[in-house]
């Protein structure tokens, strides 16, 4: 039995409030309706699409926090950030990110998401990647949502901060990287 439109829309608002980064496809599966129905419901309720919801959160919360690069230069959308500790970003793989022949994401986009998140995490005016060790665990496909999680593992006396980044699609690890970040202040503290 189909749910009535007004009831579905009420539950849609509640679902998006509790899970703001849910995709239209996930909502369609959850409510057992078409993606077009979800889009029409969102339009009627003046709920922006996922990318706009993420940008709104990023702009409101992180624009003045990130010191090492302009927020618009971060690849993906930052959804959580604690400078010199941890950060999370989300990126949905679009057509411009994939090989046209097989719809698999080009590796440099996953690297760019992880690397720019590692840079954004550094609490300094200038942060540069000194070296990185990366590993791709599995291919990422068109329309998949990649969640990158960065964490500072060590702040060395020589001013190098080591940041580990792990990227996931759903709960599956797809990319790992260890980034050795140079900071201009040459911070001498250790953790």
Both 70 and 150 in a single domain? yes
pTM for this prediction: 0.69
| Residues facing residue 89 across a β-bridge | 78, 148
Query: Which CATH number goes with the domain that contains 18?
Result: 1.10.10.10
Residue 65, pLDDT above cutoff 70:
no
Q: At 182, is the pLDDT very low, low, confident or very high (cuts 50, 70, 90)? A: very high
Q: At 61, is the pLDDT very low, low, confident or very high (cuts 50, 70, 90)? A: low
DSSP string, 32-45: TS-HHHHHHHHHHH
Residue 98, pLDDT above cutoff 50:
yes
Cα–Cα distances (Å) from 87 to 32, 43, 55, 110, 123, in that order, read: 33, 31, 16, 16, 12
Distance CA(57)–CA(67), nearest Å, equals 17
Residue 92, pLDDT above cutoff 60:
yes
Tell me which DSSP letter residue 48 carries: P
Both 62 and 147 in a single domain? yes
pLDDT the model gives residue 59: 53
State the maximum Cα–Cα separation within the chain, in Å, rounded to a whole number.
65
Kindly state the average pLDDT of the residues 48-75. 66
**Which domain covers residue 38, as residue numbers?**
5-47
Kindly state the average pLDDT of the residues 155-175. 94
Kind and range of the H or E element at 108? helix 107-121
């Amino acid at each position: 039995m189909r749910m009535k439109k007004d009831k579905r829309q009420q539950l849609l608002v509640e679902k998006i409030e509790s899970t703001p980064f849910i995709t239209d496809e996930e909502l369609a599966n959850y409510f057992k309706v078409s993606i077009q129905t979800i889009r029409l419901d969102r339009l009627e309720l003046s709920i922006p699409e996922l990318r706009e919801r993420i940008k709104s959160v990023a702009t409101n919360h992180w624009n003045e926090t990130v010191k090492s690069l302009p927020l618009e230069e971060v690849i993906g959308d930052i959804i959580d950030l604690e400078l010199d500790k941890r950060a999370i970003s989300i990126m949905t793989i679009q057509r411009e990110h994939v090989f046209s022949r097989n719809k698999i994401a080009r590796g440099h986009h996953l690297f760019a998401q992880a690397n720019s998140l590692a840079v954004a995490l550094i609490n300094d005016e200038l942060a540069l990647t000194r070296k990185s060790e990366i590993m791709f665990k599995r291919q990422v496909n068109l329309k998949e949502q990649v969640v990158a999680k960065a964490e500072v593992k060590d702040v060395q006396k020589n001013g190098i901060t080591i940041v580990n980044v792990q990227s996931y699609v759903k709960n599956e690890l797809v990319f790992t990287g260890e980034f050795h970040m140079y900071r201009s202040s040459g911070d001498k503290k250790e953790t």
